[in-house]
Amino acid sequence: MTVLTACQSTPDAPAVTAIALDQNQGLDQNIASLTQAVSANPSDPEALNVRGTAYGRAGKYDAAIQDFTTALQLDPNFYQAYANRALVYRQTNQPAKAVQDYSTALQINPNYDSAYIGRGNVYRVAGRNREALIDFQRAIDLNTTDPRAYHNRGLLYQIDGQHKQAIEDFSTAISLQATAPEPYSGRGVSYLALGDEENAFADFNAALKLDESKAEYWVNQALVYERKGDRGRAFKSYARAAQLDPKYRPAKDGMARTSGSA
């Protein structure tokens, strides 16, 4: 899936990345065996839902939508299938359909935290921050253990300049899933906004340790080096970011500011 970022090009605005769903989980699914299960039980909506999930994780979105739709024809109250189809609609840039499916899932089961998180993220990406915040808060009120609820609420607090609250939410997200790099990056951004370069640097390095492939994380690290006056290391980190994503403007701008210092 596409990872959405809130990137800015000024030296004082590091990049923040939204938590990405694990797109690799379904790639090892034996779709052939799942198809056998569907063939053996063509009226079983659960079998279709499982195969649809595997299709979705493998990037076979049309097949996934077809399976979820058939499952819902068999069981109109299958709220998980609505939420799963909504996720595919999100991934294929059909936000209105995604919101409709998430909302239907919640009409069937008002306590389904994953649907609140999914719909909230659609709202957040669309800039409908108030509605997004309400949905993330609902999931949190349901005692969700999904780190995305806290991470995404943290992003909204961050946009609003409420960095202490954002740090608390990013920290909770990290406690729920310590292997996700995005909350470390997000928390680092808020630390840096509060002038805490030491903790910001530690978090940016933690994000890089978990995922060295994101240009944004290298730029965030470079920003701290630049603030500390270490232009040589800043240039190297900006250059690494530009190598990973040649079109990433903050990397290019950073290299221009620190060139001749490597």
Identify the CA nearest to 25 among candidates 102, 104, 87.
Answer: 87
Identify the CA nearest to 53 among candidates 19, 30, 76, 77.
Answer: 30
> Tens-of-pLDDT digits for all 262 residues of the chain?
222 333 333 334 555 445 444 444 445 447 888 988 999 999 999 999 999 999 998 899 999 999 999 999 999 999 999 999 999 999 999 999 999 999 999 999 999 999 999 999 999 999 999 999 999 999 999 999 999 999 999 999 999 999 999 999 999 999 999 999 999 999 999 999 999 999 999 999 999 999 999 999 999 999 999 999 999 999 999 999 999 999 999 999 999 999 875 4
- Decide if 120 contacts 152 (C-beta within 8 A): yes
SS3 257: helix
Query: What pLDDT score does 157 carry?
Result: 97
Which residues does residue 17 pair with via DSSP β-bridges, in sequence order? Answer: 5
The residue count for the chain:
262
Domains along the chain with CATH numbers: 18-213 (1.25.40.10)
- Within 10 angstroms of residue 80's Cβ, the number of other Cβ atoms is 19
Query: What pLDDT score does 2 carry?
Result: 27
* Phi-psi group of 5: left, alpha or beta (phi > 0 → left; psi -120 to 50 → alpha; rest → beta): beta
Query: What pLDDT score does 5 carry?
Result: 35
- Decide if 147 contacts 176 (C-beta within 8 A): yes
CA distance 231 to 228: 8
Identify the CA nearest to 174 among candidates 156, 198, 150.
Answer: 150
User: What's the pTM value of the predicted model, to 2 decimals?
Assistant: 0.85
Contacts of 21 (CB under 8 A, 6+ apart): 1, 87
CA distance 154 to 179: 17
Query: What pLDDT score does 246 carry?
Result: 96
The H or E element that residue 158 is part of is helix 147-159
